[in-house]
Amino acid sequence: MSQPHLPRRLAGGIRRWAAAAAGALALTAGLLAAGPQASAASLIQVSGFGTNPGNLSMYAHVPDALPTGAPLVLALHGCTQSASDYHAHSGWSTFADRYGFAVVYPQTTSANNANSCFNWFEAGDSARGRGEALSIKQMVDKAVAQYGSDPGRVYITGLSAGGGMTANMLAAYPDVFAGGSVASGLPARCAEALTAAYTCMYSPPDRTPAQWGDLVRSAAPAGTASWPRVAIWQGTADTTVRPANATELRDQWTNVWGIGQTPSDTRNLTGGTTVTTYDDASGRPAVEVYSVSGMAHGLAVDPGSGTEQCGTAGTYYPDTICSSYHTARFWGLDGDGDSDGGENPGTLPAPAGLTVTATTDTTVALTWEAVAGASYYTVHRNGTKVSTTASSHYTDTGLATGTTYSYTVTATDPAGTAGAASPAVIATTTGYTPTCHTASNYAHTTAGRAYASGGLTFAEGSGQAMGLWNTFTIHTLQQTAPGHYVIADEACPA
């Protein structure tokens, strides 16, 4: 999504650039190469990850002997790039090996978009349960099942068009992602058509924080009560995705968190980088904005063998600072169990016997075995700290109905050092009643239970193929969760 990264969707009658776009491409033709490709020997392709309505490919880097319950990171490349290119340059594999987590690299191609961009600007590809967005969600499900990843510690990051898709995924699937990082990208739902994409890139709408926040809330499942933690990376000299986008992204996600736009902290890092932090009500960073002075369009890397270094410089990978390192620490992937901490776990063992004892429509009750020497315990929901308690039990409240959550608990000693996190447990709130709907594909689509793509119909949420989009093809759909439908022609239990 640099100037050669201008989105170009091959759908309907859109087959050629407008003259202005063609001129921009001609002026920057030398930038079309994705840079030198380093070895991708540790990258494997994964097949059979779902119905794949977005026609994407799945690649993964999985460290040897990865334990069950490790985090999972999804990394989305920019336009003209590929999974192997992003794997070779971004530095994510370095920290996957160091900290112990799997990395999944979704990949699109010119069959979806002439410049191999993720279609962040197409509602049919970036909304929950649709197109490319659903394919990415299916990759999460595949990785959780195949690698034993913790479903409560799933994160997503992306560059440029991948950054725009990352923001949309965070909005559409806040129940899936504990955190995200948008590098040289766009606010969630900034554009839902090709023509609006250019405006977002070069002169983003100056909406109020509440208006930006409403776009996220309307994309998320009804009743969403917890949100992902978001890092925003932007170069001050970016002429492709203008720096104003970082400001709008900040306004959007701070509003979603309800924490305002006044920084809790500002500090300087290497590479001319300034980071401003916006804490949640508990004093934990919820949104961070990394501004890299003088950096043009791209993902910041810092080649070398130092602790804070990573990646390989190349086209759209400027040598400034290792963004992947700081993002991993912001998410708490460096092993301390809390975001942006940097310390190693203390000596206290992980609380044993973490168990879900009861659930209601809006609550989950937990209990665990007491740890000798613990002053208090910290409860994490989907990787986010939700409470501390001196007791060995806790009830989480204010949750969404019919929604799955992941919980871990750590014990803290009198010096304030947290020990290792417990194995995660999964809990699903009650209160959602499945319903059945029999109608034509056309009626299902107009009612929002299905969507049409290329003259065919697909069930919302599951993406199951339903045949031609017309009034003659009849199906029964069962709604099994908010916004999620499955074909139930033979029998509908509801």
CA–CA separation, 170 and 126 (whole Å): 10
Task: Specify whether 126 is catalytic.
Answer: no
Decide: residue 414, CB within 10 A, 0-12 exposed, 13-18 middle, 19+ buried. exposed
| Tokens coding 296 | 């043009």
Whole-Å CA distances, 433 to 218, 311, 398, 464, 481: 22, 48, 19, 21, 8
CA–CA separation, 31 and 113 (whole Å): 18
DSSP 347-372: SSPPPS--EEEEE-SS-EEEE----T
| Tokens coding 279 | 């804490």
CA–CA separation, 434 and 436 (whole Å): 7
CA–CA separation, 51 and 487 (whole Å): 13
| Tokens coding 28 | 């920057």
270 DSSP β-pair partners = none
**Which candidate, 158, 157, 140, places its Cα nearest to that of 149?**
140
Whole-Å CA distances, 247 to 2, 323, 325: 19, 18, 22
Decide: residue 180, CB within 10 A, 0-12 exposed, 13-18 middle, 19+ buried. buried
Annotated catalytic residue within 84, 116, 135, 160: 160
Residue type at 21 in one-letter notation: A
Report, as residue numbers or ranges, the catalytic residues. 160
